[in-house]
Structure 1
């Protein structure tokens, strides 16, 4: 399967310029991996799960909070 490269370039260049402040030169010198790393994760990290025992422990440690 072959996908055309050119249709995806303008939106990515615009995103790099707006979100990262990259110049066109910076965009064209970056690798796809560098662009992905600069933009960060595409899904939010899951919040840590805190169980009742941990909450109780924290409440004992910080009773005036």
Structure 2
């Protein structure tokens, strides 16, 4: 299969699995697509908890 054929097939599968339009597929990064695939496979990391969020907010405060 050619790259173009494989990309078209993957774009179609992303449309079915994630409701993505072709534009959404082509604008997504490989990491974004991989994160969604991991989520479907049950391999997604746990979401951040309250402590994680507090540490991130302290490390990266909103400034004005």
TM-score normalised over the length of structure 1: 0.51
Assess if the C-alpha contact under 8 Å between 1:13 and 1:24 holds in 2: yes
C-alpha distance in 1 between matches for 2:3 and 2:19: 23
Superposition RMSD on alpha carbons, in Å? 2.2
Paired position in structure 2 for 1:15: 13
Gaps of 5+ in 2: 44-64
How many pairs does the alignment contain? 42
Gaps of 5+ in 1: 46-65
Determine which structure has greater relative contact order: mean sequence separation of CA pairs < 8 Å that are 6+ residues apart, divided by chain length.
Answer: 1
Of structures 1 and 2, the larger Rg is shown by 1
Paired position in structure 1 for 2:23: 25
